[in-house]
Amino acid sequence: METKHIKIKDLISQASDMEDAADLIRSGEVVAFPTETVYGLGADGLNEEAVKKIFQAKGRPQDNPLILHVDSLEMLKRLIVEIPKDAYLCMDKFWPGPLTILFKRTHIVPGIITAGLDTVAIRMPSHPIALELIKKSNTPIAAPSANTSGRPSPTRASHVIQDMDGKIAMIIDGGETGVGLESTVLDLTEDVPMILRPGGVTLEDLREFLPQVIIDPGLLEGTGDHVTPKSPGQKYRHYAPKALMILFSGDGDKVVGEILERARKDEAEGKKVGLLVTEENQHRYPEKNIVVMGSSMDKNTIAHGLFDAIRKLDEMDVDIILCESVEEDQIGMAIMNRLFKAAGGNRIYL
Ligand code: TXA
Ligand code: MG
């Protein structure tokens, strides 16, 4: 399939381009578009055949449900049984924005969206192009991240092109995404509000409004294999570079020392070693095959650049990636969740 590429700089003067994109969505095709978190792979969320094309393009397992993106409360209300009180609080504060909320679904929502669950994940994105596409399409847009399943999520149109060119009808280039990591997935359908995936809205942000909010125990390490994460997507190896990756955590100086040591050893064995490190520590390593993920003084820069950094290391064709950790507060929780998954659980504590 020939993929159409459009670049949107101004929604007003380019209204007809957005109309073309919405026409494709309405006619059951797949369009990749920017959101404030990562690029999404969008299709009409009420059209089962259209949604099937998303799964095909990504190579996504059918048991992993999708998020529906809405532009208004009216659109939301058609999809769900009720809006719990806590949801009003969160929507008021964080919508439009990087928070996905689980609701009890109505029968309008096709089973393919929810993988047969009776809950549906919904968010209202804040990116103007995303909102305009939903509005013009006049339907909730189902959109997972626009990467091939298992690869790092795309934060630039060039990443989407790498993974999706030739497989979908259109790619809308809206520049780099802002947050850089996916939305927080919050379950409000049980007695205690629970974060199923840490993301752009932090635990600290949510606690202000939902003091009782907890993290899905299945997400935390050390709980053993018997606790399965509630969000199906969290059980897969995700965000994964092609190379083996090891995450080093603990005392900062020890981490640097251990990475240097391990790099020497692997290089002596003829392996090509890549380093994924913070700006502050960059000067402490040899310059070869090093990618800076951002500044530990401002973790938002790390969130913003993380997936691009992992893709860059892939392009260098390294055999092994040695990676620093960041503090797990604020957006650091989402960063460490993605790094831990990218490393397939390979984490060394020092
Ligand atoms: O920021 C984002 O959320 C991006 C942009 C495009 O909006 N989308 C995204 O979608 O990250 P995806 O499909 O890559 O991740 C959706 C996550 C998965 O972990 C999935 O298992 C979970 O949400 N999810 C969706 N519906 C669910 C449900 N009913 N119950 C539990 N988890 C659900
Ligand atoms: Mg994804």
CATH of 244-349, picked from 3.30.70.20, 2.60.120.1440, 3.30.420.40, 3.40.50.11030, is: 3.40.50.11030
Q: Is 317 left (phi over 0), alpha (psi -120 to 50) or beta?
A: left
pLDDT score for 302 = 98
**Torsion over CA: 208, 213, 214, 219 (sign):** negative
**Ligand having the closest approach to the CA of 180:** 1
pTM of the model: 0.96
**Ligand having the closest approach to the CA of 196:** 1
Ligand 1 touching residue 119 (CB < 6 A): yes
**Torsion over CA: 98, 104, 108, 109 (sign):** positive
Among 37, 60, 105, 145, the mutation site with the greatest number of ligand 1 atoms within 8 A of its Cβ is 145
pLDDT score for 230 = 80
Pair 215, 203: CB distance under 8 Å: yes
Kindly state the helix (H) or strand (E) to which residue 247 belongs, with its residue range: strand 244-249
Ligand 1 touching residue 32 (CB < 6 A): no
- Residues whose CB is less than 8 angstroms from the CB of residue 340 and which lie 6 or more positions away in sequence, other chains included: 221, 247, 347
DSSP state of 145: B
279 C-alpha vs ligand 1 centroid, how far in Å? Answer: 30
Q: Does domain 4-221 have CATH number 3.40.50.2300?
A: no
Q: Kindly report, residue by residue over 131-149, the tens digit of the pLDDT.
A: 999 999 999 999 999 999 9
pLDDT score for 226 = 55
- Give the start-to-end residue ranges of the domains of the chain: 4-221, 244-349
**Ligand having the closest approach to the CA of 216:** 1
Q: Which residues of the chain have pLDDT under 50?
A: 222-224
Ligand 1 touching residue 231 (CB < 6 A): yes
pLDDT score for 222 = 45
269 C-alpha vs ligand 1 centroid, how far in Å? Answer: 40
| Amino acid at position 164, single letter | M
